[in-house]
Chains A and B, each alone.
Chain A
Amino acid sequence: MADAKGLSPENLAKAEAVVALYPHRRSGLIPLCHIAQAQDGYLTPAAIEDIARLCGVSAAEVRGTASFYDMLHTEPVGRYVVAVCTNIACMLAGAYSVLSHAEDRLGVRLGQTTEDGLFTLEEAECLAGCDQAVCVQVNHRFFGPVDEEGFDRLVAELAAGEFDEVVPPHGVLCRVERSVGLKAHRDDERATAPAAPAGSGDGGAA
């Protein structure tokens, strides 16, 4: 990506502050991926390099870790990632009909992005909104119960910008920032802590 410059100076500072919250730098990996996604909507190769440097691991390790997690994207996605839950409670409330309607309405199949770059459609696993089935998340903001008409209204209002306050662009997760660093007296321990902890998950099948 020619236009991808990695994390902005402001986000680099934010990332440093996040890494400092953990006894071991690598623990910052996933929070930093969220910072990078908030900036670009997905994980750009340059941002992955920045995260690797900040966490003391290789870019391949960042990519390999990120690929395990559903929320982290290494390819561009739409401004709005619309995820329709089809797990048991939503399925019983007709989620597959709503999902198939969503494909027709947006003119895309699952995993695809509309030509205008506005919507990416996904099928979600249970989103813990089962009393509001069928449950739909847009950039991880909850809507429900959503039926076919409700889905049409939702995408129309999103496209018209009526949810701009509630639904930030894809990647922006937590808009409240931590206001304090660590306070308890353990700075000395931290300075001497090795970059990677010993004996934690080392015996795994991985």
Chain B
Amino acid sequence: MITHPDPIVTSRLGHDDSHTLERYLATGGYEGLRKALGMTPEAVHEEVNQASLLGRGGAGFPAGRKWSMLREAPTTYLVVNGDESEPATFKDHLLIERDPHQIVEGTIICAYAIGARQAFIFCRGEFALGLERLTQAVNEAYEHGALGTDIFGSGFELDLVVHPGAGAYICGEETALLESLEGKRGFPRIKPPYFPAAVGLYGEPTVVNNVETMSNLPWIVLNGGAAFAALGEGTSTGTRLFALSGHVKRPGWYELEMSKTTFRDLIYDPSLGGGIRHGRELKAFIPGGVSAPWFFPEHLDMGLDQDAVGKAGSMLGSGSIVVMDESACAVRAAYRITRFFWRESCGQCTPCREGSGWVEKVLRRIEDGYGREEDLDLLLDACDNIAPGLGWPPKQTTICVLGPSIPSSIVSAIHRFRDEFLVHVKDGGCPFEPDEVRRAE
């Protein structure tokens, strides 16, 4: 049963001018900030704790708890992660282009709660329009009195800088993002320290939160944490913005109540994904970005719930669902995902740098018809060296989680579609047609 609560982060997107200050103010914009500034920072923090807002970037760490971990220091920073690059994820891109003021307002609220006086929004470099809209929104927020000194007469002061990335998936990893923001290569930092809350930007305590996480804050402050927590179930509270792509009739973004909606609803309901194109059968789907192990038809009735998906051996991750129908080649899909990790590996750690290239080559030769039967064991063995045990969550041999994400698609594909790999080997090539080009309507 699909519930239809009022949207929280996409409430303005029905308007063509949702990115403008005029529309924002006409639809309750900056009221959450005004209310927050009338509360103590601790009280704002408490509302977010009550909301049980889980970070919307991928790891799903509770936002309020992250804020509690800040080391006491004269200078603290807030950095908003808008470097959305997990393949098939396009929800932050949407929020950045279509409702930049909501992100700015959420950022100011967060900065107030944690006592930061300078904040940065790290926006993925490839989002040219997004950068323009965010920069415009920040300019307007200063003029409107929502940024700078004495914000709305409260005495609170904050500077907000929009920082452009330059094209590197790894910068979505929070310590790599901070390195990049410091003007360096996006190399994830060795842990410990595990959290930027202890040692972050310029070595100072720093909160790094995702764009969608920030976008929820104005609503949470206005309506209260309890109202947010009343949506969803268990630890998966509120709504979440899901990005649906692949072989569905209606790819797109859908803001849904957590837990209450199932994968079947999302993929098949006429108001959501609308079912598989050409009436074909579902082969597999990826439940949370390409770092996640694949799901299959037997998982369709699971709710969009962080814990449930985790227990079933995958993750809701970045909230992006990729649907593959029976015409999709599992070898080709695993190859393309692996190629991505190989291209984006920062190169610091051997298992990731060497392992990704190795398995990419083996997958490529299988797809091209030059594979050997023993290549399947070779793939699994190489994956086992990247993430020993091949379990979920993966064991770590590297500084960050990019490396351990490599086996997900390969192991999923081999375990489920072993015969398909063997046909590639036996027949000397791929038995599937080239992927059908989707026609512009």
Cα(A36)–Cα(B64), bound, Å: 40
Minimum CB distance partner of B438 in chain A: A93
A-B contact count (CB 8 A): 261
**Cβ of B168 under 8 Å from chain A:** yes
Contact B135 A91 (CB under 8 A): no
Further contacts, 4 of them, CB under 8 A, given A125-B85, A147-B439: A24-B183, A97-B434, A183-B157, A201-B178
Determine if B344 and A125 form an interchain contact, defined as CB atoms under 8 angstroms apart.
Answer: yes
Q: Which residues of B contact A23 (CB under 8 A)?
A: 118, 202
Interface presence of B324 (CB below 8 A): yes
Binding site for B on A (CB under 8 A): 21-24, 26-31, 33-34, 55, 57, 64-66, 68-72, 86-89, 91-98, 124-131, 133-134, 137, 139-142, 145-148, 150, 173-180, 182-186, 189, 197-201, 203-206
B159 interface hit (Cβ, 8 Å):
yes
A178 touches B162 (CB 8 A): yes
Q: CB of B348 within 8 A of chain A?
A: yes
Whether A30 contacts B183 by the Cβ 8 Å rule is yes
Are B168 and A70 in contact, CB atoms less than 8 angstroms apart? yes
- A87: chain B residues at CB < 8 Å are 87-88, 290, 336-337, 340
Interface residues of B (CB under 8 A from A): 75, 84-90, 92-93, 117-118, 124-129, 131-133, 135-136, 138-139, 142-143, 147-149, 157-159, 161-169, 175, 178-190, 199-203, 243-247, 251-253, 286, 290, 320, 322, 324, 328, 332-333, 336-337, 340, 343-344, 346, 348-349, 399, 434-440
Inter-chain CA distance A204–B173, complex, in Å, is 14
Q: Are A131 and B202 in contact (CB under 8 A)?
A: no
CA distance A146 to B440 in the complex (A): 6
Smallest CB separation, B390 vs chain A (Å): 21
Establish whether residues B85 and A133, one from each chain, have CB atoms under 8 Å apart when the complex forms: no
Tell me if B167 and A72 are in contact (CB < 8 A). Answer: yes
Complex alpha-carbon distance, A86 and B343, angstroms: 13
Q: How far is the CB of B130 from chain A (nearest CB, A)?
A: 9
Q: Beyond A26-B184, A68-B168, A204-B179, is A89–B245 a contact (Cβ under 8 Å)? A: yes
| Residues B164 and A31 in contact, CB atoms below 8 Å apart | yes
Residues A129 and B90 in contact in the complex (CB < 8 Å), given A205-B190, A205-B399:
yes
Q: Is the CB of B126 within 8 A of A137?
A: yes
Q: B residues within 8 A CB of A183?
A: 142, 147-149, 157, 159
